């Protein structure tokens, strides 16, 4: 399982950040040397959020003073005011798209492009590549480490030679639009990654091509189109890596199998310090998307004693973050107002619907229950005292009565002898 690392924040405007700055207290875009990470910072670069209608993701300029206009910023150079923006290229696939989303048959070919616009006073050198995407346990969208070769959708993407400007668009005959898949098979000098140089306030478009394998599994596949500015700090310092990415989804046609499972269910009881008050139940579990479609689930947790006594609900109707196929969420919910009734059962229910292109509304659900001892020790102690009293008092009275009768018998005189 991948380490959690830093996370992709789904924000309306994605800010460029030094990796790890969210944990170190550095401001976004700070150029202080920080331990290198292969993931994007929580407060830093992010996929653009389609539901928020973004035209692209943007890396904000660093607040630091630095390079003169015309200097080149890249590996081995100091970074001044650095920033850039990303957006899908306009063309037959659509205009002003927030991200990439396609329908494709297995074996299909899709041509598209990514526009990179400089927000810097210095020339930028960036590396463009693709990486697999997944959902983190806390519900954020993240990318595989840069050093990890992609094995799913990220491996299907290759890049062509950069084109100056933002006006390039794929040919209509080789683009997939309206849910159809292009099948252009002309020679393509694609590479797994390319380097681009962008003049101050300039723009370039990098053509990209998806080659969906003939044996690709039906369902949703996710990746990120990543741009990376890497600065090699001075000798003895650590490397700084700034990244910005756009999300990309491909739904491979075929039979969808939405699936959801609940595992690692744990229930813990916490009694109140006040013996006359209710306590809490904490429910922890893992919700895994075991199917082939992106899912958004609604959570409900029901807690009750024997025969349904003292029933309480927790997390009722809460909509959880989207889960990509093969990913999972780690959930923990605390339910208050639970009285100890010896045995308490917590039931977790999750109802999900598919949200991927071409799979909207397909259902999936899961349910699991676990129990925990919730002994009311005070009331049990009082009951034992009462029971002991109910048994001991009659015995004591009987003994007293017997003792009194025995004493009277001992005072009776024997009759005189004849």
Strands 123-135 and 72-73: parallel
Residue pLDDT, tens place only, 268-284: 998 877 777 788 999 99
In a domain, 150, yes or no: yes
Q: Which domain holds residue 163?
A: 21-252
Strands 100-104 and 240-252: parallel
CA-to-CA distance for 383 and 132, rounded, in angstroms?
61
Considering the domain architecture, whether residues 347 and 205 belong to the same structural domain is answered as no
Considering the domain architecture, whether residues 60 and 144 belong to the same structural domain is answered as yes
**Stretch 96-122: mean pLDDT:** 93
pLDDT above 50 (res 139): yes
Across 90-94, 244-248, 391-395, the highest mean pLDDT is recorded for 244-248
Considering the domain architecture, whether residues 246 and 265 belong to the same structural domain is answered as no
| Alpha-carbon torsion (317, 322, 328, 331), positive or negative | negative
Considering the domain architecture, whether residues 299 and 227 belong to the same structural domain is answered as no
Considering the domain architecture, whether residues 133 and 214 belong to the same structural domain is answered as yes
What lies within 8 Å, CB to CB, of 188 at 6+ separation is: 158, 160, 209
**Stretch 298-321: mean pLDDT:** 88
Do 84 and 62 contact (CB within 8 A), yes or no?
no
Lowest mean pLDDT among 278-292, 325-339, 393-407: 393-407
What pLDDT shows up at residue 109? 94
What pLDDT shows up at residue 340? 83
CA-to-CA distance for 18 and 84, rounded, in angstroms?
14
In a domain, 182, yes or no: yes
What pLDDT shows up at residue 159? 96
Q: Which residue, chain included where needed, has tokens 């639970």?
A: 338
User: Concatenated DSSP letters for 33-82?
Assistant: -----SS--TTS-----GGGT-S-EEEPPPSS--PPTT-EESTTS---S-
Residue pLDDT, tens place only, 342-365: 889 999 999 999 998 777 788 999
> 195, 227, 252 — which closes off a domain?
252
Residue pLDDT, tens place only, 207-255: 999 999 999 999 999 999 999 986 656 555 666 678 899 999 999 999 8
| Alpha-carbon torsion (145, 146, 151, 152), positive or negative | positive
Considering the domain architecture, whether residues 153 and 37 belong to the same structural domain is answered as yes
What pLDDT shows up at residue 41? 30
In a domain, 389, yes or no: no
Confidence bin at 187 (pLDDT 50/70/90): low
What pLDDT shows up at residue 232? 57
In a domain, 14, yes or no: no
**Average per-residue pLDDT for the chain:** 75
Residue 76 CB: number of other CB atoms within 10 A? 12
pLDDT above 50 (res 50): no
Considering the domain architecture, whether residues 372 and 327 belong to the same structural domain is answered as yes
In a domain, 132, yes or no: yes
CA-to-CA distance for 356 and 366, rounded, in angstroms?
20
Considering the domain architecture, whether residues 168 and 280 belong to the same structural domain is answered as no
What pLDDT shows up at residue 276? 75
In a domain, 410, yes or no: no
Q: What are phi and psi of 347, to 5 degrees?
A: -115, 125
In a domain, 5, yes or no: no
pTM: 0.72
Name the residue with higher pLDDT: 288 or 46: 288
Q: CA–CA distance from 127 to each of 46, 89, 244 (Å)?
A: 16, 18, 11
Considering the domain architecture, whether residues 219 and 280 belong to the same structural domain is answered as no
SS3 106: coil
CA-to-CA distance for 197 and 127, rounded, in angstroms?
9
CATH of the domain at 317: 2.60.40.1470
Strands 295-304 and 312-319: antiparallel
pLDDT above 50 (res 63): no
Q: What are phi and psi of 406, to 5 degrees?
A: -65, -35
Q: Which residue, chain included where needed, has tokens 């780690």?
A: 330
- Closest C-alpha among 162, 170, 247, 241 to residue 203: 162
The whole-angstrom distance between residue 199's C-alpha and the CA centroid of its chain comes to 36
CATH of the domain at 241: 2.60.40.10
Confidence bin at 140 (pLDDT 50/70/90): very high
pLDDT above 70 (res 118): yes
Confidence bin at 392 (pLDDT 50/70/90): low
Token output for 73: 């910023």
Do 95 and 137 contact (CB within 8 A), yes or no?
no
Give the chain's largest Cα–Cα span: 146
SS3 178: coil
Lowest mean pLDDT among 14-23, 96-105, 137-146, 177-186: 14-23
What lies within 8 Å, CB to CB, of 171 at 6+ separation is: 92, 111, 184
- Closest C-alpha among 154, 139, 47 to residue 328: 139
> 252, 268, 284 — which closes off a domain?
252
Considering the domain architecture, whether residues 224 and 354 belong to the same structural domain is answered as no
Structural domains counted in the chain:
2
Considering the domain architecture, whether residues 125 and 152 belong to the same structural domain is answered as yes
Q: What are phi and psi of 80, to 5 degrees?
A: -105, -125
In a domain, 193, yes or no: yes
Confidence bin at 388 (pLDDT 50/70/90): low
- Closest C-alpha among 395, 393, 370, 391 to residue 266: 370
> 358, 377, 396 — which closes off a domain?
377
Considering the domain architecture, whether residues 248 and 270 belong to the same structural domain is answered as no
- Closest C-alpha among 184, 179, 231, 225 to residue 205: 225
Lowest mean pLDDT among 18-32, 58-72, 213-227, 296-310: 18-32
């Amino acid at each position: 399982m991948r380490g959690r690392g830093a996370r992709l924040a789904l924000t309306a405007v994605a800010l460029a950040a030094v990796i790890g700055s969210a944990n170190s207290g550095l401001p976004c875009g700070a150029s202080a040397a920080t331990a290198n990470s292969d993931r994007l910072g929580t407060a830093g670069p992010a996929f653009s959020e389609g539901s928020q209608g973004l035209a692209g993701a943007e890396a904000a300029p660093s607040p630091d003073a630095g390079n003169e206009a015309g200097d080149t910023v890249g590996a081995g150079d100091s970074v001044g005011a650095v920033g850039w923006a990303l957006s899908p290229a306009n063309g037959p696939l659509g205009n002003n798209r927030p991200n990439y989303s396609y329908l494709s048959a297995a074996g299909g070919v899709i041509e598209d492009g990514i526009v990179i616009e400089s927000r810097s006073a210095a020339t930028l050198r960036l590396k463009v590549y693709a990486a697999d995407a997944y959902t983190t346990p806390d519900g954020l969208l993240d990318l595989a480490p840069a050093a990890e070769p992609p094995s799913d959708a990220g491996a299907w993407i290759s890049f062509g030679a950069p084109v100056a400007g933002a006006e390039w668009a794929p040919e209509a005959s080789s683009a997939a639009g309206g849910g159809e898949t292009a099948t252009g098979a002309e020679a393509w000098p694609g590479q797994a990654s390319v380097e681009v140089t962008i003049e101050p306030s300039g723009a370039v478009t990098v053509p990209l091509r998806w080659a969906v394998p003939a044996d690709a599994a039906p369902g949703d596949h996710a990746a990120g189109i990543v741009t990376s500015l890497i600065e090699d700090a001075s000798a003895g310092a650590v490397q700084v890596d700034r990244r910005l990415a756009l999300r990309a989804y491909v739904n491979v046609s075929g039979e969808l199998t939405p699936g959801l499972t609940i595992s690692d269910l744990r229930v813990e009881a916490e009694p109140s310090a006040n013996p006359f008050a209710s306590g809490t139940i904490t429910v922890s579990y893992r919700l895994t998307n075991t199917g082939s479609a992106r899912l958004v689930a609604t959570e409900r947790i029901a807690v009750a004693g024997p025969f349904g006594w003292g029933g309480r609900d927790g997390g009722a109707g809460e909509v959880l973050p989207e889960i990509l196929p093969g990913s999972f969420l780690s959930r923990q919910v605390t339910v208050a107002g639970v009285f100890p009734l010896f045995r308490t059962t917590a039931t977790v229910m999750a109802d999900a619907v598919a949200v991927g292109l071409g799979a909207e509304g397909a259902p999936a659900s899961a349910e699991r229950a676990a129990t925990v001892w919730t002994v009311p020790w005070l009331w049990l102690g009082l009951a034992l005292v009462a029971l002991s009293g109910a048994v001991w008092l009659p015995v004591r009275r009987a003994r007293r009565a017997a003792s009194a009768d025995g004493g009277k018998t001992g005072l009776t005189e024997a009759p005189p002898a004849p």
